[in-house]
Amino acid sequence: MPESKIKEMIKPLLWGAIGGAILTIIIGFAWGGWVTGGSAQERIDNAVLPIAAEICANNFKADPDFEKNLAALKEKDRWQRDDYIEKGKWAVMAGDDSSKSGVAEACVQKLSDLIK
């Protein structure tokens, strides 16, 4: 094939490849279920939060000083209760150094029947 014919074919080929890549991305994100890393992490956090809250509530109930801690939790204002749970380390999951966002608040909600 002559060199001039090859040069003639490259431009439409490149534009076709660029257009195909853009179309693939649009279809993938719109209908294919593709997500960005941030939204994937948000979905994971939302799925794990109820489980982590249940573990936190069980940790709180299993604490040897449960009665004392429950009395102290009842004395706290509503807006201070999640801080109390975080400070007690009941919301910290195994392998973590600190609690994940929202776990302590969800834990307080799980314990709400005991707090009344």
pLDDT at 32 (0 to 100)? 86
Task: Share the mean pLDDT of the chain.
Answer: 91
What are phi and psi for residue 76, nearest 5 degrees?
A: -70, 150
* For range 96-108, the mean pLDDT: 92
Domain positions in the chain are 1-34, 36-115
pLDDT at 62 (0 to 100)? 96
* For range 83-104, the mean pLDDT: 92
How confident is residue 3, by pLDDT bands cut at 50, 70 and 90?
confident
pLDDT at 4 (0 to 100)? 77
Express each pLDDT in 31-76 by its tens digit. Answer: 888 888 888 888 888 889 999 999 999 999 999 999 999 999 999 9
**Distance separating alpha carbons of residues 37 and 116, to the nearest angstrom:** 40
Q: Is the distance from CB of 9 to CB of 17 less than 8 angstroms?
A: no
What Rg, from alpha-carbon coordinates, does the chain have? Answer: 27
Q: What count of other Cβ atoms lies within 10 Å of the Cβ of residue 12?
A: 9
Q: What's this model's pTM, rounded to 2 decimal places?
A: 0.67
Is the pLDDT at 116 greater than 80, yes or no? no
pLDDT at 70 (0 to 100)? 96
pLDDT at 25 (0 to 100)? 92
